[in-house]
Amino acid sequence: MRNNFFAVGGLALILALCINFFFHTAYFLTIVLIVLLAVGFINTTQHKHAILRNFPVLGYFRYLFEMIAPEIQQYFIERSTDGKPFSRNERSLVYQRAKNIDSTTPFGTQLNINTSNYEGIKHSIFPAVVNEDLPRVLVGGPDCKQPYAASLLNISAMSFGSLSENAVIALNKGAKKGGFYHNTGEGGLTQFHLQGGDVTWQIGTGYFGCRTADGNFDSEKFAEKTKHPEVKMIEIKLSQGAKPGHGGVLPASKNTEEIAKIRGVEPHTTILSPPSHSAFSDAKGLIAFIAQLRSLSNGKPIGFKLCIGQTSEFELICQEMVIQNCFPDFITVDGAEGGTGAAPLEFADGVGMPFEPALIFVNKTLINLGIRDHVKIISSGKIISGYSILRAVAMGADICNSARGFMFSLGCIQALRCNNNSCPTGVATQDKMLMKGLVVTDKSERVYHYHKNTLHSANELLAAAGKTNFSDVDSSIFMRGDEFTNLSDLYFPDNLTNVSRF
C-alpha cells in the first residue's frame, strides 16, 4: 500500500504541477498533495503505528472510526432493546420520568417473552389501591441514637472528582426537594454535597476528608464533619461491585487542584485508593471500627458497603457482630455489575458476585444467624425502574440505591467517556467548559421528578400484585419463563413421554 500511495500521489502531484504550469490553476490541489505526501512520508518512517506505516494517511481513518465507534453503535446500530449496560428503552424511561412527561410505551412489549429467562410479576386479579405516599424505611438499631427515616430509593455513591461540581450540586438539591439521601462516594464530604439535602458520608480506604498526612484515619476530622446536620448516615466502603478488591481510581486528568485539596493528595496525579483499610484488617477490627464511628458521630447510623466475594468472610463478619454484640445499622450490597467511572477491565468483567445471588446470600445469612432484625439491607446494582426496586425488595433489600439512574436523570447519554474527562453532558468531567452545559436549576428538578415518578411506579406495581406494603413483598410474586415448562418440552420430547417435571 505504501508503494501505491506514493506512486498515485506522485503522479497526481506531477499532473497538478503541469496544470499549474500551463493553465495557472490547481494551486490549492498542489499544496494539498504536497502536504499529504509529506505526511505519508512521515507515517512510513515512524515506528509506533504499524497501520500508518503500511497505510500512510489512510491509516488515520482507522483511528477516526475507532474514536467515534461508541456513537456509531449507539445512534445507528443498536436497537431499542440493545445497549450496555443499559438499553435505549431503559435510558428513555429515565429521561421521560426526569422530565416529568409521559413515560408510557406504545404497541406492546418489544421483548421476546416466550423464553426461559423471561421474568415477570404475578399480578392479582383484585389489585390493591395505589398508595400515593412514597415509602420510607427507618434505619437505626438499638445502639443508634439518631435513627434516620430513609426513602426507599436514594442516590448511590458517586464522588466529587468522578462527577463534576454541577452534577453533585444538582443531585443534592434534587435530594433535598424529594426528601431522599445522597451518598458522597469515597471522594469525601465536600461543600457541593452540603446544599441542604440529606447525606450518607462514605468512608473509603483513602479516608478522604478525614485522613492524616500519611493517609490514615483521622478521628478528630471525622467527628468534626459528622456534626453537619445534613450528614444522616456513615457508610464504610469495603469494596464496590465494579472493582472489588482494587480500590477507587481517579484519573490524573480529573484530579484538579480543588479536588486534591479536598482529598489531601497531590494534584494532577492518578489517585489509587488502597485496596484495604489501614484502620482494621479483619472482621474483629471492622466491628470495632463500627463501634468507634458510632461513638464519634454521637450515635448516627453506621453501616458498610461491600461486593460479596468469599462468602465465608462475610459469615465471619456476621459471627463477629454476635460475639461483640455490636451490629451495623445497615449493610449495602453491591453487585459485580455495578457502575464506576474507571476500572480495569479484568476487575469490571471478572471479579465479584453478581447482585442477585449476593443480595439473597446476605439476607439468608443474617436470617440464619437470627440478626436480620438488627440490620437494614441496602441494595446497589442497576436499580433504575420501579420494577427493579420491587425485584430487589423481593430478594431481601429494605432500601435501594441507584447511581447510573440518577446520572441519566442529569442528562448522561451513556457516552462511555467517564474515565477520560470528556463527558459531553458535563456529568462526569472536571472540564469547566463541558461542565457549563449542566444547568443546576434544571437538572435538580429532573433528579427530583425521576425519584418521585420511579417510586410511584413501584407503588403501582406493588398494588398490581395485590400488596399494600413493601414488607409483604417476597420472591413468590415473581414468575420466570420456564416456571410452567415441562422437562419433556425442553429435552427430547419424543423420548421422555413418562417424565413431566423435575
Q: Which three cell numbers stand for residue 220?
A: 478528630
Please tell me the distance from the alpha carbon of residue 370 to that of residue 116, in angstroms, as a whole number.
35
- In sequence order, what are the beta bridge partners of 265? none
Find, among 243, 209, 286, the residue nearest to 419 by Cα: 243
* Cell numbers describing residue 28: 490549492
Interatomic CA distance for residues 478 and 459, integer angstroms: 16
pLDDT score at 489:
59
State the Cα–Cα distance between residues 89 and 165, nearest whole angstrom: 28
pLDDT of the residue at 281: 92
Question: How far is 163 from 419, CA to CA, in rounded Å?
Answer: 10
Distance (Å, rounded) from C-alpha 490 to C-alpha 496?
A: 10
Residue reference for cell 446470600: 361
Helix (H, G, I), strand (E, B) or coil at 378: strand
What pLDDT is attached to residue 484?
Answer: 64
pLDDT given at position 494: 56
**Distance, CA of 411 to CA of 480 (rounded, Å):** 33
Instruction: Give yes or no for a contact between 195 and 169, defined as CB atoms under 8 angstroms apart.
Output: yes
- Predicted pLDDT at 501: 45
The 3-state secondary structure of 203-216 reads ECCCCCCCECCCCC
Name the segment(s) of the chain with CATH classification 3.20.20.70.
Answer: 136-480
Do residues 339 and 404 lie in contact, with contact meaning Cβ atoms separated by under 8 Å?
Answer: yes
Q: How far is CA 200 from CA 181, 300, 448, in A?
A: 6, 10, 18
Beta carbons within 10 angstroms of residue 212's beta carbon = 14
Report the distance separating Cα 231 and Cα 222, nearest Å.
Answer: 11
- Residue appearing with cell numbers 439518631: 146
Q: CB neighbours of 442 closer than 8 A, spacing ≥ 6?
A: none
- Render each residue's pLDDT in the chain as its tens digit; 502 residues: 777 877 877 788 788 888 877 777 777 888 888 888 888 888 888 888 888 888 888 888 887 887 777 777 777 777 777 777 888 888 889 999 999 998 877 777 787 787 777 888 999 999 999 999 999 999 999 899 999 999 999 999 999 988 999 999 999 999 999 999 999 998 889 999 999 999 999 999 999 989 898 889 999 999 999 999 999 999 999 988 777 777 777 778 778 888 888 887 888 888 777 888 999 999 999 999 999 999 999 999 999 999 999 999 999 999 999 999 999 999 999 988 877 777 777 877 778 888 889 999 999 999 999 999 999 999 988 899 999 999 999 999 999 999 999 999 999 988 888 888 888 899 999 889 999 999 999 999 999 999 999 999 999 999 999 999 999 999 889 888 777 666 555 555 554 455 444 4
| The CATH homologous superfamily of the domain defined by 136-480 | Aldolase class I (3.20.20.70)
Distance CA 180, CA 311 (A): 31
- C-alpha cell, 67: 474514536
